[in-house]
């Protein structure tokens, strides 16, 4: 059988032709728009030359992420209400907490409440600019000299905090023939980044005396330890008052992350800097925070069933035979595993939505597959859409999945593989 006839016989279509969803995957084939995958078959059987065939698999079996634009917009509104309409600097570090840097920023930028974006890696800042993001972008990390120049030329704001900043910014400002715009990063006890608060004032005098910087803001990060947070804020406020008293620039003051948005109203200041709350997850005390202001998960992890099989009594599944059927039981295999970011510990209590029913994850989550227990009747079929995390059921909310798996909700989201296809819905 030649290649064209083989592809057509397989029900895959030819040269990008659309395929009937029912023929492609069987039952339940309404895939999300944009989630289709493409593959290339290369024919080099003869030395006469090479031709390529584009085969479109629609809908896909491989896992994908759906980014819920309406949920993102709703969560921005919730944060705005919690902070009395303070401007929001959206933290989109670590691939926008797993949702996708460009996809997420593209939804957020048009919103009036969004004043700008914060990242920690120079490459992320440049990706935002390459994607057409025009609002302010703050780099909260450090950039070496050549990177810093490229960033400033793209209107990315730097963070000033290291002892060498006065000299480096002076050299950079001379090359650019303009002051370098950025924010002073104060370390009030986090001990991670920033200039230590107890020696920051003389350092700022030196920095300001160079006339090489335009201070657009001053910020800090909380440890999120309740009692020490107050001490940190007192240090920050004392520094700000001292700077103001001697006439040095402060710009906008910002300190509150998502945890601060919910629990530290005194730290809302001139602007807030949330991350995870914008994406529909609760930062530290989910039950309490849900009662204060409910959020909508803005990401959905999906796949399609690739195998349905009936186990006999005594049959097991996956590595370690951690699950052995005590009676005849149907199971379904999903092509999503820990390489995609789905936690190995999902077998400890996570469930998956297929159709309108939840099914428990069993056995072991391997690199590329997870298995769910269907029950005594085959109520699912190959091709059915499965949702492993999202807003479709309370059990699938990121915080609920994190609780069921013993994982941090931050890890759960940020470990979603960057290789997963992402589509805004």
Active site residues: 93, 319
Annotate the chain with three-state secondary structure.
Answer: CCHHHHHHHCCCCCCCCCCCHHHHHCCCCCCCCCCCEEEEEEECCCCCCCEEEEEEECCCCCCEEEECHHHHHHHHHHHHHHCCCCCEEEECHHHHHCCCHHHHHHHHCCCCCEEEEEECCHHHHHHHHHCCCCCCEEECCCCCHHHHHHHHHCCEEEEECCCCHHHHHHHHHHHHCCCEEEEEEEECCCCCCCEEHHHHHHHHHHHHHCCCEEEEEEECCCCCCHHHHHHHHHHHHHHHHHHHHCCCCCCEEECCCHHHHHHCHHHCCCEECCCHHHHCCCCCCHHHHHHHCCCCCCEEEEEECCEEEEECCCCEECHHHCEECCCCEEEEEECCCHHHCCCHHHHHCCEEEECCEEEEEECCCCCCCEEEEEECCCCCCCCCEEEEECCCCHHHCHHHHHHHHCCCHHHHHHCCCCCCCEEEC
């Amino acid at each position: 059988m030649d290649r064209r006839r083989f592809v057509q016989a397989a029900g895959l279509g030819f040269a990008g032709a659309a395929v009937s969803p029912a023929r492609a995957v069987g039952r339940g084939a309404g895939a999300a728009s944009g989630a289709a995958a493409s593959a290339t078959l290369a024919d080099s059987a003869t030395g006469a030359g090479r031709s390529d065939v584009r085969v479109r698999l629609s809908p896909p079996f491989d896992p994908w992420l759906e980014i819920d634009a309406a949920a993102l917009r709703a969560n921005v509104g919730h944060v705005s209400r919690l902070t009395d309409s303070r401007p929001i600097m959206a933290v989109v570090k670590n691939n926008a907490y797993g949702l996708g840097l460009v996809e997420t920023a593209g939804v957020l930028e048009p919103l009036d409440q969004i004043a700008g974006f914060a990242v920690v890696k120079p490459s992320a800042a440049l990706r935002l600019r390459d994607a057409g993001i025009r609002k302010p972008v703050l780099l909260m990390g450090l950039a070496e000299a050549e990177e810093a120049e490229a960033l400033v030329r793209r209107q990315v704001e730097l963070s000033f905090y290291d002892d060498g900043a006065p000299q480096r910014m002076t050299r950079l400002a001379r090359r650019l023939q303009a002051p370098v715009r950025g924010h002073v990063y104060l370390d009030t006890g986090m001990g991670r980044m920033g200039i230590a608060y107890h020696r920051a004032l003389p350092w700022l005098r030196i920095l300001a005396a160079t006339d090489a910087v335009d201070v657009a803001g001053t910020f800090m990060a909380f440890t999120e330890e309740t009692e020490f947070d107050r001490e940190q804020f007192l240090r920050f406020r004392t520094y700000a008052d001292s700077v103001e008293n001697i006439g040095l620039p402060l710009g906008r003051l910002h300190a509150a992350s998502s945890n601060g948005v919910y629990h530290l109203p005194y730290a809302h200041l001139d602007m807030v800097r949330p991350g995870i709350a914008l994406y529909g997850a609760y930062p530290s005390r989910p039950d309490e925070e849900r009662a204060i202001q409910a959020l909508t998960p803005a990401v959905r992890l999906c796949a399609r069933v690739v195998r349905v099989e009936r186990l006999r009594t005594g049959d097991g599944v996956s590595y370690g035979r951690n699950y052995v059927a005590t009676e005849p039981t149907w199971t379904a295999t999903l092509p999503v595993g820990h390489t995609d970011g789905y936690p190995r510990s999902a077998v400890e209590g996570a469930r998956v939505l297929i159709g309108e029913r939840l099914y428990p994850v069993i056995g072991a989550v391997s690199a590329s597959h997870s298995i769910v227990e269907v029950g005594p009747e085959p109520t699912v079929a190959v091709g059915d859409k499965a949702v492993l995390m999202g807003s479709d059921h309370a059990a699938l909310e990121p915080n609920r999945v994190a609780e069921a798996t013993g994982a941090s909700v931050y890890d759960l989201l940020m470990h979603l593989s960057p290789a997963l296809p992402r589509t805004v819905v």
